[in-house]
Amino acid sequence: PTLVLLHGFGGSRQNWVPTAKYLAHNFHVIIPDLPGYGSSSPVPASEGGIHGEARLLAGFVDALELKHFGLVGH
């Protein structure tokens, strides 16, 4: 099974690394940096806000062709 782990605002994917080490024994773990955080590119103004973040996340999941996955937020 696949888990997508999302960090909170002001964080980065690094927030999940210690936990992901344990989860990786039983799951395929994906930890993206949300747009504008960590090593990701800045967010265009048109993609800002929670709805823009949701659209970008949906595009990310579609690009990876994930059909079934768990989504975990921090």
φ, ψ (nearest 5 deg) of residue 48: -70, 170
The DSSP line for 47-61 is G-HHHHHHHHHHHHH
Look at residue 27 in the predicted model and tell me its pLDDT.
97
At 70, the pLDDT band (50, 70, 90 cuts) reads very high
pLDDT > 90: percent of the chain: 53
Query: How many other CB atoms are found less than 10 A from the CB of residue 47?
Result: 15
Boundaries of domain holding 37: 2-73
Pair type for strands 70-73 and 2-6: parallel
Top pLDDT among 45 and 26 is at 26
C-alpha closest to that of 60 among 39, 42, 34: 34
- Residue 47, pLDDT > 80, answer no
E runs forming strands in 1-74: 2-6, 28-30, 70-73
